[in-house]
């Protein structure tokens, strides 16, 4: 854990000095999952562990453009501090920055000593503690997609897709990656040590997917967070943009954040997958089927957390292979919840609802919370989807815009009860402000559509 006493921090300092490290970058996720950080000179690491690093709490209330959103506990309270303490157990040397190591930070409220209400890492820890009360340890495997862009002053927004090769689905090598971006990135991520396993070019030109090993849920979230930050940083070093935006281009599909989830029971290390039951319906245990039912029951509210932007809802629609109906299926990629074909130790569900812009901690916390509610309720899911999905006569529609999803989240008191009222209130306020700013903004589409003719 992060509360290292100075003597322990000194041991880390001595080890890092021998390894040629003289700076430690202490990083933590903000409300939307982007990385916030401070570089600490090695001689001052012990003090940072003992006293913490002070940041303004409004870092959680700041929009991507730098505006401070009026959320309780921020502007109204005079912009108070939060304190970030390095979690030295998460130290990793950065292969692309000689002399620099990175670690995650745990965020507390100095007035109470409790975790900061908006801290996504603390949110996930709290949800996992609820699971532990029921003897469950969620195991998660994140899958993330992103687009790579080259600078182009003449393109909308100043960026164009790095490659427009069509039809290069599930490929590797130069056919769709002429500068070997993926190979170079995979090797650096391997050296970083976050459990990257493989990657490939995805469906659309300049779209890539990099996969991580599955692990207990907090570690999976930590690694997904660090993956996103690292991919973006490596692109910056090359003068490029790697974006995990849900749908950055009109003429291409979106980028998903698919999450594979199972649960172990018993003491850590036993690895007894409680989703497996060879005698159960579909080869799944009642626990697994109840978890599926929970995801379906809380899907509208989940959308607000795993499809968190105005842009997220442009990823959905017929023939997008992105779920926009509340359904589940056996090895069916057109369903919101897919059950992969493996059984035994590999029994799991895959939530395909999330998009790549989601905060990994929030996405995993919300998914686990909904599954836990289903397990507690003991409900069975309806019959699984057969054939190609997207039939509104068979399944309910998910929210089609962020405001509707936020309303569904606020109304789902069972889910928000697990997530906590303080986090939920901050999230709703932040995201509703985002919607308000978007609705007041004149877009390029509006000018093109109306200006000349009206």
What is the SS3 assignment for 222-255? HHHHHHHHHHHHHHHHCCEEEECCCCCCCCCCCC
pLDDT at 246: 97
pLDDT at 11: 87
- Residue 69 half-sphere exposure toward CB, CA atoms < 13 A: 23
Cα angle 137, 138, 143 (rounded to 5 degrees) comes to 155
pLDDT at 1: 42
Collect all residues with Cβ–Cβ distance below 8 Å to 110 and sequence separation of at least 6.
52, 54, 81, 82, 83
pLDDT at 2: 45
Bridge partners, residue 56, by sequence: 81
Nearest partner of 392 among 338, 330, 326, judged by Cα:
326
With residue 159 as reference, give the H or E element that holds it: strand 159-161
Query: Is 400 in contact with 315 (CB distance < 8 Å)?
Result: no
DSSP code for 204 = S
Query: Is 425 in contact with 371 (CB distance < 8 Å)?
Result: no
Instruction: Give backbone dihedrals phi and psi of 235, rounded to 5 degrees, phi first.
Output: -65, -40
Long-range pairs for 437-440: beta carbons < 8 A, 24 or more residues apart:
437/63, 437/67, 438/310
Other CB atoms within 10 A of residue 101 CB = 24
pLDDT, averaged in runs of 10, over the chain (454 residues): 62 92 98 97 95 96 93 92 96 97 97 96 98 96 97 92 90 94 97 97 94 97 98 97 96 95 79 93 97 98 98 88 92 95 96 98 98 97 89 90 98 98 97 97 94 94
pLDDT at 8: 78
Nearest partner of 343 among 424, 276, 288, 429, judged by Cα:
276
């Amino acid at each position: 854990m992060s509360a290292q006493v100075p003597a322990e921090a000194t041991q880390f300092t001595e080890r890092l000095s021998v390894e040629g490290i003289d700076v430690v970058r202490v990083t933590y996720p903000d409300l939307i999952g982007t990385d916030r950080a401070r570089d600490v000179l090695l001689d001052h690491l012990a003090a940072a562990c003992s006293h913490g690093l002070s940041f303004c709490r409004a870092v959680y209330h700041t929009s991507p453009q730098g505006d401070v959103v009026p959320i309780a506990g921020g502007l109204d309270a005079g912009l108070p501090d939060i304190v970030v303490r390095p979690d030295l157990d998460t130290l990793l040397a950065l292969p692309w920055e000689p002399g620099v190591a990175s670690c995650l930070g745990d965020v507390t409220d100095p007035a109470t000593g409790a975790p900061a209400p908006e801290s996504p890492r603390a949110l996930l820890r709290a949800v996992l503690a609820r699971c532990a009360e029921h003897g469950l340890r969620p195991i998660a495997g994140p899958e993330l997609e992103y687009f790579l862009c080259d600078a182009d002053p003449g393109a909308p927004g100043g960026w164009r897709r790095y490659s427009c090769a069509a039809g290069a689905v599930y490929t590797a090598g130069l056919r769709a990656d002429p500068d070997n971006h993926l190979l170079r990135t995979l090797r650096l991520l391997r050296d970083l040590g976050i459990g990257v396993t493989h990657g490939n070019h995805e469906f659309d030109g300049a779209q890539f997917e990099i996969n991580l090993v599955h692990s207990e849920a907090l570690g999976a979230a930590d690694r997904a967070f660090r993956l996103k930050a690292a991919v973006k940083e490596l692109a910056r070093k090359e003068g490029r943009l790697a974006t995990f935006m849900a749908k950055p281009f009109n003429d291409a599909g979106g980028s998903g954040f698919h999450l594979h989830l199972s649960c172990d029971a018993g003491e850590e290390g036993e690895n007894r997958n409680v989703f497996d039951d060879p005698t159960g319906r579909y080869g799944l245990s009642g626990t697994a089927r109840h978890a599926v039912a929970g995801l379906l029951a809380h899907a509208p509210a989940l959308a607000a957390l795993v499809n968190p932007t105005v842009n997220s809802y442009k990823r959905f629609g017929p023939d997008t292979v992105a779920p926009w109906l509340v359904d589940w299926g056996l090895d069916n990629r057109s369903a919101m919840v897919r059950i992969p074909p493996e059984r035994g130790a590999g029994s799991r569900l895959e939530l395909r609802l999330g998009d790549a812009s989601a905060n990994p901690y929030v996405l995993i916390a919300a998914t686990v919370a909904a599954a836990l509610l289903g397990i507690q309720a003991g409900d069975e899911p309806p019959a699984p989807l057969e054939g190609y999905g997207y039939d509104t006569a068979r399944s309910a529609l998910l929210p089609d815009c962020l405001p509707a999803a936020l309303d569904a989240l606020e109304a789902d008191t069972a889910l928000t009860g697990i997530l906590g009222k303080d986090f939920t209130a901050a999230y709703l306020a932040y995201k509703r402000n985002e919607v308000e700013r978007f609705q007041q903004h004149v877009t390029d589409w509006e000018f093109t559509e109306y200006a000349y003719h009206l």
